[in-house]
Amino acid sequence: MDQGVHLLAYTERLGGDLAGIRELLADGPLSVFSGIHLLPFFVPFDGADAGFDPVDHATVDPRLGSWADIRALADAGVQVTADLIVNHVSADSAEFTDWLARGAESPSDGMFLTFDTVFPDGAREADITSFYRPRLGLPFTPYQRADGERRLVWTTFMPSQIDLDVHHPAAQDYLRRILRTLHEGGVSTVRLDAVGYAVKTPGTDSFMTEHTLEFVREITALARAEGLTVLVEVHAHHTQQAAIAPLVDLVYDFALPPLLLHALDTGEAGRLAHWLDIRPANAVTVLDTHDGIGVIDAGPSGQRPGLLDQAEMAAIFDRAAQLTGGQSAQASAQVAWAALPHQINSTFFSVLGEDATAYLLARCVQLFVPGRPQLYYVGLLAGTNDMARYAATGQGREVNRHVYDPAELAAALDGEVTRAQLGLVGLRSRHPAFAGEFAARQTGPSQLELTWRNGADTAVLTVDVAVPAFTVQVQDADGSVRRYDSVAELAALA
């Protein structure tokens, strides 16, 4: 795995359009990033689920640009990641509307998951309520076809997001077509969005089962056949992440953010140190994303103990609410059958009470652990909670999806916390030590030491989560040593 750092962003909310993104990354202020995950840029990018409900998954929304713009970004040396929305299509898609109009005569007949597909012999209440769903309510929506027949269609996320029967030939042909389009358009890594929900198996909760893992093997093979690297997106128990990691090229380390929050809140580094010993190495590391800050990934699941227990998870939510003045509690929705919300809807900077030192400590840890570091654009720009967007949309995740106009972007890029992060990104991307061997050790109850060594080149991070404090020390092959232990000193690197 190369040592580059990637950005995660909505095209329109950061650069305005794809040409603006290329200007920022190819030779602009964000050229230190080696790649970018462009959140859905398909038609339309601004649907009910912010692009994750495309009507046309194979076409770039012309308001943002075209496939030529994606290829130009790739030709400029920027690795592009894009989403394959595996679980569903839009109710307004050509495939679904054709099935509603023509039924069995449609080429899309069988492509969509109905109640009868999963329960051909009917189902009891217990069968239906056993399914895990990341939203309130049940995962079905009634639709009426043109011939008057009413069908109960699976809609795991929203009523307008129609689940695919991923084992049906029509659905598989659809997924192959999208994968081929992505590769031909200049995409190098495909993220399998919501794949954990894609296979429904009666008698289970249908989330990350053995049948799900088998489908992950199948869709990964299809993606690799098109020349794509595969990143899987699953919020799940840490053992389930470990199980899926060998099947794909990349997984997310969603346990790292809550463990960092726990450590900074309690002043205890033991749980974090333990995770650094057992985590998958082929991970994309994050602090926050467009979906908020995952917490359940570090917690228990059923009879399986977590890296944190239920009370410790609850304490993270409580501390976040305290430091955000109640904003995170207001914006974080509790899902069906769950004791706690699925994630914290807040920016990471806000959750830390806008403490720049604690924030850079967390960012240092993220950029030092093995894997592919990925910075979310709002996090890079030290964004705080956008409660106006939340009030306007009613969507909790919008607190962490700010739209930056050019003036705001320029001001944010000039901010000390942003420049400090850019300095860290440059160090992680360019220093030879990060191409070597990694080691981590706990040096005290609240202290960790993370080391990269490549011959005479070394990079050492020491953190004390109780203070909080951090020191980054790098040594070059010529013996020269540099030390950074403040936000200002890291900012001077940018």
Instruction: Give Cβ neighbours of residue 352 (< 8 Å, ≥ 6 apart).
Output: 261, 264, 323, 358, 359, 362
CA distance 156 to 240: 20
User: Measured between alpha carbons, how far is residue 33 from residues 71, 189, 288 in Å?
Assistant: 17, 15, 17
Of 81, 41, 75, nearest to 61 (Cα)? 41
Per DSSP bridges, beta strands 481-484 and 469-475 are antiparallel
Please tell me the number of Cα atoms within 13 Å of 390 on its side-chain side: 18
Question: Alpha helix locations (H) across 226-284?
Answer: 238-244, 256-266, 270-278
Give, as one character, the DSSP assignment of residue 203.
T
The tokens describing 8, both together, are 């995660």
CA distance 484 to 307: 31
Q: Give the active site residue among 83, 193, 253, 457.
A: 193
CA distance 450 to 272: 12
Q: Give the active site residue among 61, 233, 265, 457.
A: 233
User: Measured between alpha carbons, how far is residue 297 from residues 128, 259, 324 in Å?
Assistant: 24, 10, 22
Give yes or no: 233 in active site. yes
Of 8, 15, 13, nearest to 29 (Cα)? 15
Assess contact for 295 and 334: CB atoms under 8 A: no
The tokens describing 40, both together, are 């859905």
Give yes or no: 12 in active site. no
> Which 3 state secondary structure label does DSSP give 154?
strand
Assess contact for 335 and 342: CB atoms under 8 A: yes
Of 210, 87, 88, 197, nearest to 132 (Cα)? 197
Residues catalogued as catalytic: 193, 233
